[in-house]
Amino acid sequence: MDLHPQWHRVLIKRESSNLYHDVERMLERGYQTWPTLASGREAIGKLLRKTFSERDSHVITQANPMRLQSLRADTRATTIAARPCFLCPEHFPPEELGILWEHLALLPNPFPALPEHLTIASTRHEPQLIADRWNLYLRLARELGPSMAVTFNGAGAGASAPDHFHFQACRADALPLLSEAQHLKPCFATITSWGRRVLTFRDDNLSALEHRLSFAHRLLPTPPHPFTEPLLNVVIHFDGQEFRALLIPRAKHRPECFHATDERRVIISPAVLEMAGVVITPDQDNFNKVNERLIRDVYGEVSLEEEPFTRVVHSLEKASA
Ligand SMILES: [Zn+2]
C-alpha cells in the first residue's frame, strides 16, 4: 500500500492480533508522551453532566469546552477547501500517534467527548462517503470488539472533515441509544424516543447485514447540492455474537437555536454522539439552557421528517418479511 511518508512518523507497531488491546496500549503510550491527550482524559472525568430520562431512554448532556471548535466548525465546501486538512499527517502535531488497520489509521482524539474517543481516518485524503464502505465498517466494528462502538457522521450531518474519510469510535457503554437498542427484535426495528427517528438492525451475519444497510442507505432521500449522499449518522457495535447497527437519517445538520442571535441561542451541533444520547455543549451557560423540551425540539427538527421516514420503514419491513 502506498502510504504518504508522513504516516510512518505517526504509526506505531501492532503488538498483538487484538485490535482493541493495541488501541489501549496506544492510548496509554499517548497519555505519557502527549500532554494534550493526557489532560483531555483528565478533563473528561470532571465535566458537568446531567441525565434526562423518559422510561428506559436516557439522554446525557455535558459542558465540554474541549469541543467548542468542533461544535462551531464551519463545514461549507469553500471553507473546507481553504483550510489545511487536520486528518492529513502533514498537519498533525508532533506528538500524534496511531495504529494502522487496513488503510485506516486509528488515532486518539485529543479533544474527547467520551472515554477512549478515537478518530479513525483513511490514510488517503478522500471524501466522506459511506456507500461502498459498509463491509469495511462492519469488519472494523467486529475487529474492535464489544468494548467499542464505531460511529460515522455523514457530510452535512456533523462530519467536521467532509473531504477526508473517517469514522470515530468510543466506549460502547457510553452511548445511551445503544443500550436502548439491546432488546429490540432481530433484523429490523425502529426507535422513536425523544422525537428521534432511528432505523435499527440486528444480525449475526456480516454479509446479510451489509446487504441490508446498503439497501436502507439507497432508500434514504439524497439532499440537494453539494451533498451526494443522504444526511446520516451511524452507530455500529459488535457484541461478540451479533452486530447492532443504528442508522439515524437526518433532515439537517444544525437546529434553529444554534443560529439564533438572541437569548434563544444554544450551541448544540448534533452529530452522531448527540443523536446517540450524548448532547454536548461548550460551556455552563449553554449547558444550563438544555432541558427535556429543548432536547425533544432539537431531535425532532434535525431527524428525517416523519413522512419520508415512514416510507423508508415500510420498504424495509416489506424487504424483511
Ligand atoms: Zn486530508
Tens of pLDDT, residue by residue over 198-245, are 999 999 999 999 999 999 999 999 998 888 999 999 999 999 999 999
**Looking at the DSSP assignment, which residues form a beta bridge with residue 60?**
51, 278
Please give the distance, rounded to the nearest whole angstrom, from the Cα atom of residue 281 to the centre of ligand 1. Answer: 27
Whole-number pLDDT of residue 51? 98
Query: Cα 23 to chain center, whole Å?
Result: 18
Please, where are the H alpha helices in 90-175?
134-144
Whole-number pLDDT of residue 185? 77
Whole-number pLDDT of residue 21? 98
CA angle 133, 136, 142 (to 5 degrees): 140
- Please give the mean pLDDT across all residues of the chain: 94
Single out the residue of 69, 147, 158 nearest to residue 115, CA to CA: 147
CB 17 within 8 A of CB 101: no
**147-206 pLDDT, tens digit each:** 999 999 999 999 989 999 999 999 999 999 999 998 887 789 999 999 999 999 999 999
Residue 2 has pLDDT above 90, yes or no: no
Whole-number pLDDT of residue 67? 87
Please give the distance, rounded to the nearest whole angstrom, from the Cα atom of residue 131 to the centre of ligand 1. Answer: 19
Residue 77 has pLDDT above 80, yes or no: no
What is the rounded CA–CA span in Å between residue 116 and residue 132? 27
Whole-number pLDDT of residue 71? 83
Average pLDDT on 74-78 reads 80
Q: In this structure, what C-alpha cell is assigned to residue 228? A: 451526494
**88-132 pLDDT, tens digit each:** 999 999 999 999 999 999 999 999 999 999 999 999 999 999 999
Average pLDDT on 47-53 reads 97
pLDDT band per the 50, 70, 90 thresholds, residue 75? confident
Single out the residue of 127, 100, 121, 139 nearest to residue 11, CA to CA: 100
Whole-number pLDDT of residue 1? 65
Please give the distance, rounded to the nearest whole angstrom, from the Cα atom of residue 239 to the centre of ligand 1. Answer: 31
Please give the distance, rounded to the nearest whole angstrom, from the Cα atom of residue 194 to the centre of ligand 1. Answer: 35
Burial 44-81 (b: 16+ CB within 10 A, else e): beebeeeebeeeebbbbbbbbebbbebbebebeeeebe
Please give the distance, rounded to the nearest whole angstrom, from the Cα atom of residue 253 to the centre of ligand 1. Answer: 22
Query: Cα 56 to chain center, whole Å?
Result: 22
For residue 82, give every residue at least 6 positions away whose Cβ sits within 8 Å of its Cβ, in sequence order, or none: none
Please give the distance, rounded to the nearest whole angstrom, from the Cα atom of residue 210 to the centre of ligand 1. Answer: 27
**Looking at the DSSP assignment, which residues form a beta bridge with residue 62?**
49, 280
Residue 321 has pLDDT above 80, yes or no: no
**256-284 pLDDT, tens digit each:** 999 999 999 999 999 999 999 999 999 99
Residue 293 has pLDDT above 80, yes or no: yes
Query: Cα 78 to chain center, whole Å?
Result: 23
For residue 274, CA distances in Å to 9, 40, 175, 282, 293 come to 33, 19, 9, 13, 15
Please give the distance, rounded to the nearest whole angstrom, from the Cα atom of residue 161 to the centre of ligand 1. Answer: 8
What is the rounded CA–CA span in Å between residue 161 and residue 139? 23
Whole-number pLDDT of residue 17? 96
Please give the distance, rounded to the nearest whole angstrom, from the Cα atom of residue 122 to the centre of ligand 1. Answer: 8
**Looking at the DSSP assignment, which residues form a beta bridge with residue 40?**
none
